[in-house]
Amino acid sequence: MRVTFIKPNIGRRDHSLYVDEARMEPLMLGVLAGLTPPDVEVVLHDDRMESIPYDNATDLVAITVETYTARRSYEIADEYRKRGVPVILGGMHVTLLPDESKAHADSIFIGDAETLWAQVVRDAQEGRLQERYDGPPGVAQIGGVLPRRELFKGKGYLPMALMQYSRGCRFACQFCAVSQYFDKKHYIRRIDEVLQEIESQRRKFIFFVDDNIASDRKALKELCRELIPMKVRWFSQASLDLTRDSEIMKLMADSGNVGNVTGFESITHASLKETKKSPNIGQFSSYEREIRILREYGMQTWAAFTLGYDHDTYESIIATMKFALKNRFTFAAFNILMPYPNTPLYHKLEQQGRLLYDGKWWLHPEYRFNQAAYQPELMSADELTDACHEARKQFNSASSLVYRFSDIKTNLKTLWSVAAYWRYTLLFRKEVYKKHLMRFGLR
Ligand code: SF4
């Protein structure tokens, strides 16, 4: 039997196919392959840079679906099904919107795969694939399952190993699909299994793809203590409240943490309250204290902003960009607040009649990447789209790049941080422009 795993792309640009040059290993598909019974052959196709050989023989196709890739995922699923190949769809979007996904699949997988994936494969092998499988959200890779990393070879992924220590997050930010999916719970792997995974591969630079690795500080401290002797460099996604714990900051620095993606979301207290961004609200000090601490420990900051709250204006968005520039963040993403399906934000905007694109921007043929998908309070949707793009342009200008580089405590701290700054900021800056106003799907 052969199972084919597919990582879908987002879509295409008006003049050409879009190739994601900053692509990372599709960890979740490597893990699924690891959960597959060993007598079954597994194949991986990554739509982000290679064409999909629809006519190659396969007995089951498994596609991981995110909201941004839903349209393209359904196109791929339809192609396989036209050829009589059974398709199973899984991933966060499928769990949030099962009824939509099942129209394009023979089977859908709701929740996490760990407990049921081997059963899915056996059912497909015996020709009795069920219409729906429900796996509870929970701890990743239970029993020390390792991702099949050999599937990633030769596909040009960034030279870092993706791993997960935990899933979920205890906070309840209104726009966050993770909070919805995991119902505000945080699931942590056994540390010895994580350490074994690090040792099982050769890379010394690790991206822990945890939704919020700082959600449980005690667990993070334990991980850091174990990482110290392993002499790795790592980064992750972490909420800003970690700066309130000096022990954790020291342990992270000692264990090789080089920085984190951190959700600042907004520089306006009222907007943070609106979105219930509680890790940022306590002792709110315009982030001065938090940023000083991050710099003290030499951590490069990849700041994520969400823009378009009810208090936001063109001016407040440009002020956000200036704030990111002044603090010489290594990188900053100026994301439009997106109504992800089934989140509290989505329901609020739906009730207020403010959703655009029929409430399904991820499927709508007119929607383009980076466009506002709802009616903001103090400006038009187009003004919000333009303001965010202007912020991206100014932040990614040549003079901004040089100015941000000049931070001796972070971007100039070591030869490694200098190299990482130029390699990754230039790469992600390029992707920002390439993706802007991209169509979803290829058709
Ligand atoms: S802190 Fe981050 S992961 Fe946690 S709920 Fe908020 S946005 Fe989601």
State the CATH number of the domain containing residue 126: 3.40.50.280
pLDDT at 168: 97
pLDDT at 283: 63
Residues 330 and 413 in one domain: yes
Residue 152 is assigned to a structural domain of this protein: no
What are the tens digits of pLDDT across the range 150-206?
999 999 999 999 999 999 999 999 999 999 999 999 999 999 999 999 999 999 999
pLDDT at 443: 83
pLDDT at 15: 82
Of 175, 179, 272, the one to substitute when testing ligand 1's pocket (max ligand atoms within 8 A of C-beta) is 179
* C-beta separation of 167 from 194 below 8 A: no
Residues with CB under 6 A from ligand 1: 169, 171-173, 176, 178-179, 211-212, 239, 263, 279
Residues 123 and 216 in one domain: no
Q: Which is nearest to 37 in space by CA: 152, 149, 127, 121? A: 121
Domain boundary among 101, 135, 169: 135
Residues 197 and 109 in one domain: no
Q: Does 123 have pLDDT greater than 90?
A: yes
Which residue's alpha carbon is at the smallest distance from atom 6 of ligand 1?
173
pLDDT at 130: 98
Q: Does 233 have pLDDT greater than 90?
A: yes
pLDDT at 16: 80
- Over range 408-425, report the average pLDDT: 97
- Over range 243-252, report the average pLDDT: 97
Residues 244 and 164 in one domain: yes
Q: What is each CA distance from 50 to 41, 63, 189, in whole angstroms?
A: 20, 15, 33
Of 181, 217, 239, the one to substitute when testing ligand 1's pocket (max ligand atoms within 8 A of C-beta) is 239
pLDDT at 284: 66
Question: What's the domain range around 413?
Answer: 159-440
- Ligand 1 atom closest to residue 179's alpha carbon, by position in its atom list: 5
Residues 267 and 387 in one domain: yes
- Ligand 1 atom closest to residue 168's alpha carbon, by position in its atom list: 3
Mean pLDDT of the chain: 96
Which residue's alpha carbon is at the smallest distance from atom 8 of ligand 1?
176
> Distance from the CA of 392 to the center of ligand 1, in angstroms?
22
Q: Does 14 have pLDDT greater than 90?
A: no
Residue 148 is assigned to a structural domain of this protein: no
